Amino acid sequence: MKIGIVCYPTFGGSGVVATELGKALADQGHQIHFITYEQPTRLVDLFNENIFYHKVDIRSYPLFEYAPYELALASKMVNVVKYESLDLLHVHYAIPHASAAFMAREILRSQGVFVPFVTTLHGTDITLVGKDETYEPVVTFSINQSNGVTAVSESLKNDTYAQFRVNKEIDVIPNFIDLNRFKKQKKEHFKTAICPNGERLIVHTSNFRKVKRIDDVIKVFCRLRKLIPAKLLLVGDGPERRRIEALCQELDIHEDVRFLGKLELIEEVLSVADVFLMPSEKESFGLAALEAMACEVPVISSNTGGLPELNIHGVTGFLSNVGDIDDMVRNTLVVLDEANLPRFKENALARAREFDVDHIRPMYERVYERVLAQHRTEALAH
Ligand code: GMT
């Protein structure tokens, strides 16, 4: 198949999922065309004969306070579909990709070209941004207009039906992991450098947005380090980073906390972690937790959204109510207990294996085939 993939090119979860899916599909012989405003961060494989990248050019004009990205994107989709003879478009994150895809599909239809689009809902496009009245009518319309809709967890599917008047069937296709890349590596020298006295290493990675509740990471860590020797690594960057750094100085814990910024080789850090913290307010899946689990790191998380579908309470880590710091501290101590840690690590890896890309990729291929078959029938009837 020739597939156009539209996503955010950033470090964020939906961009990572879209890029990794494209790479996995290209390995199966599909021709993949990424259409976005910058080369996706995880797309390092441009010499692959099946992978192409098309940059969306955004023309500015003094009249525009905000250049209309959605129009530039729709126009680029029209161009790529026509000149590369794409069979299908797959857009990740509804805003504004689904409405741009709708526009592209209808423009192409008016020119006698029929190409369906699949929308994958990732989380905040539904649970936070999408339901705001600023966007809701467009999000509802473009989901209903999609030829196929997928969501990354049952919880996100339920949220979509609860919060939008959506009448489309939604296929749940969980996020996935490349176990050849995400696996525990021997990085003992790294561990010794950060934890010279054998301290426990706590890791959190995120885009440092409010929804991640990084204050809770700090609160849990503050309590822990009074009970056991521990260090904290914070990976990633975003709007909250500066404030959290100042908070660590204020609390006088900065010597035990390191901010590593955005990292390409996150698996190297995860390889030396003892526990992963994800106390998020909302989390439709929790891809960062899956990456940790694949590196044999148990997860202490909130029980919000899709996290209970990934992190099994008492098996791969623990779940707590959002903001329940006492419970998170208690649970972390249970996981870090010498008598328990090996079992939690083993279970985390076993659970991650269930999300192997080779199990999940065919689920997308089946949706593509179904959508193409339906669309062919509709096009013939036209
Ligand atoms: O806001 C974010 O956390 C990024 C966001 C995205 O779309 O890039 O992440 C969402 O999609 C990820 C991939 O499907 C999921 O693993 C995350 O749970 C989800 N984030 C939220 O729901 C907050």
Condensed to tens digits (0 to 9), the pLDDT of residues 77-119 reads: 999 999 999 999 999 999 999 999 999 999 999 999 999 999 9
Q: Which of the four pLDDT bands, split at 50, 70 and 90, describes residue 279?
A: very high
For the residues 198-209, what does the mean pLDDT come to? 96
Q: What percent of the chain has pLDDT over 90?
A: 85
Q: How far is CA 36 from CA 5, 19, 69, 190, in A?
A: 8, 11, 10, 36
For the residues 166-172, what does the mean pLDDT come to? 96
Q: Which of the four pLDDT bands, split at 50, 70 and 90, describes residue 381?
A: confident
SS3 290: helix
What's the whole-model pTM score? Answer: 0.93
pLDDT tens column, 243-268: 999 999 999 998 999 999 998 889 99
- As given in the structure block, the two tokens for residue 169 are 């069937």
pLDDT score at 59: 87
Q: How far is CA 24 from CA 19, 20, 116, 222, 272, in A?
A: 9, 6, 21, 41, 27
For the residues 239-244, what does the mean pLDDT come to? 96
Tell whether the model's pLDDT for residue 379 goes beyond 80.
Answer: no
For the residues 204-209, what does the mean pLDDT come to? 95
Q: Which atom of ligand 1 is nearest to the CA of 305?
A: 22
Pocket of ligand 1 (CB under 6 A): 12-15, 17, 93, 122-124, 127, 152, 175, 207, 209, 211, 282-287
Range with lowest mean pLDDT among 28-32, 62-66, 197-201, 349-353: 62-66
123 secondary structure, DSSP code: S
Burial class (CB in 10 A: 0-12, 13-18, 19+), 180: exposed
For the residues 348-358, what does the mean pLDDT come to? 98
Q: Which of the four pLDDT bands, split at 50, 70 and 90, describes residue 10?
A: confident
- 309 CA → ligand 1 middle, Å: 15
One-letter amino acid for residue 108 of the chain = L
Q: Which atom of ligand 1 is nearest to the CA of 123?
A: 22
pLDDT score at 282: 94
Q: How far, in Å, CA of 199 to CA of 50, rounded?
A: 46
What domains can be seen in the chain, in order of their start residue?
A: 2-176+357-381 (3.40.50.2000), 188-353 (3.40.50.2000)
Q: Does the CA dihedral 36-37-42-44 come out positive or negative?
A: positive
pLDDT score at 188: 86
pLDDT score at 48: 86
Pocket test for ligand 1, best of 7, 16, 19, 122 (most atoms within 8 A of CB): 122
Q: Which of the four pLDDT bands, split at 50, 70 and 90, describes residue 234?
A: very high
Q: Which of the four pLDDT bands, split at 50, 70 and 90, describes residue 345?
A: very high
Q: Which atom of ligand 1 is nearest to the CA of 288?
A: 16
pLDDT score at 46: 64
For the residues 335-361, what does the mean pLDDT come to? 97
371: number of Cβ within 10 Å: 20
SS3 173: coil
195: number of Cβ within 10 Å: 18
Measured in whole angstroms, the distance separating CA 150 from the mean position of its chain's CA atoms is: 14
- As given in the structure block, the two tokens for residue 211 are 């929804």
For the residues 181-190, what does the mean pLDDT come to? 91
pLDDT score at 11: 65
One-letter amino acid for residue 149 of the chain = V
- 240 CA → ligand 1 middle, Å: 16
